[in-house]
Copies of this chain bind each other. A is one copy, B any other.
């Protein structure tokens, strides 16, 4: 199997998510990282590239897009792991150069940029893959499959939480991860953008429904903070379910506690990202079952994205690697191969949906938490 050639923009020294993308791309041996513009100054870009033994390093992403597009063995796709406000310009540059894009979430810092980018993607004819990495967990695939085939009956309630506590206090000024995430100009929204879009995407992915309207209580826990760190959101979904999303990065006692519960007329399921190898499955009048990743009880959709047997825990990096493996399948399919069954990628449309969620939450919050329609 030939490995695809991957480039990266962002992810230089001191960054968190760039290193995660590199491991994820490498884990299943479907990509080879060959080029990058890892930082926003030429010096740091070069040093970062040298630090990871990257063959080709560029001073600017514009130069990188142009050069790679012209190379015989140029990159097949670029991974964009910059702060949010740079996603759209970088993606636009590579898409216009004819290069597929794999982009971190949220899609952009502002909804308008998201919609504009969606047009660019459509015009380009290239793939745009948004890394909502939590959809890569095998038991999330299982959950989606069970909902889709009616195992839980008609869906009544969809409830997701995503709680962290790393911003429960004002961070030190030199903490790079925090700095741009707390700056409205670079991040757009706070917890809503950073983790709220994940929770909303996951809920919709599994439930197979999208919100039609919402009402959001949005708040900041630290005096002087310019951006939201907590939101409690009521949802109404287009399939008739009610929903609720609670996100915070100021909820002390939680590290990266994304969880999902789905209640239907015939059963329910419950899953937590911090213990991702099992899912509680309930049917009315029967003992609750503990469904484990990789066991004989899971569906082909889940088994396809599993590497090791049950009891050998897979985690965050493996789920992220599945996003990259699904991306490689999509890229190969764009070149003519057949997509495997149960294949899934998040697209620019999912990214726009996420930004509409954020935008509606902020609009609701500005109107005393009244209901707001999503389009």
Give me the interface of A with B, judged by CB distance under 8 Å: 1-3, 16, 19-20, 22-23, 26-29, 51-53, 156-157, 159, 164-166, 168-169, 215, 217, 219, 221, 230, 232, 234, 242, 244, 246, 248, 250-257, 263-268, 270, 273-277, 280-292, 295-297, 307-318, 368-371
Q: Do A246 and B159 touch across chains, with their CB atoms under 8 A apart?
A: yes
Contacts A165-B284, A252-B268, A274-B277 known; list 6 others, CB within 8 Å.
Answer: A156-B219, A252-B263, A256-B312, A286-B297, A287-B290, A287-B291
Most B CB contacts (10 A, CB to CB) among A16, A53, A276, A369 go to A369
Q: Which residues of chain B are within 8 angstroms of A268 by Cβ–Cβ distance?
A: 251-253
A224: shortest Cβ distance to chain B, in Å? Answer: 13
Q: Which of B265, B291, B311 is close to A274, meaning CB atoms less than 8 Å apart? A: B311
List 5 A-B residue pairs with CB atoms under 8 Å apart, sorted by A's residue number: A26-B26, A166-B309, A221-B265, A256-B309, A287-B292
Q: How many copies does the complex hold?
A: 4
Contact residues in B for A253 (Cβ distance below 8 Å): 263, 267-268, 270, 280, 282, 288
Q: Is the CB of B53 within 8 A of A3?
A: yes
- Indicate which residue in B22, B230, B288, B315 contacts A290 across the interface (CB closer than 8 Å): B288
- In Å, the complex CA distance between A73 and B19 comes to 28
Complex formed: what's the CA distance from A232 to B159 in Å? 10
Residues of chain B within 8 A (CB-CB) of A287 are 281, 289-292, 295, 297
Would A308 and B317 be within 8 Å (CB), given that A52-B1, A282-B253 are in contact? yes
* A257, closest chain B residue (CB): B311
| A369 with B215, Cβ < 8 A, contacts A232-B242, A253-B288, A274-B277 known | yes
- A246 engages B244 (CB within 8 Å): yes
Q: For the complex, what is the distance from the CA of A219 to the CA of B267, rounded to whole Å?
A: 18
Bound-state Cα–Cα, A285 to B166, Å? 9
Name the contact of A234 in the complex, choosing from B232, B242, B257 (C-beta under 8 A). Answer: B232
Task: Point out the residue from B51, B157, B283, B309 that lies within 8 Å of A251, measured CB to CB.
Answer: B157
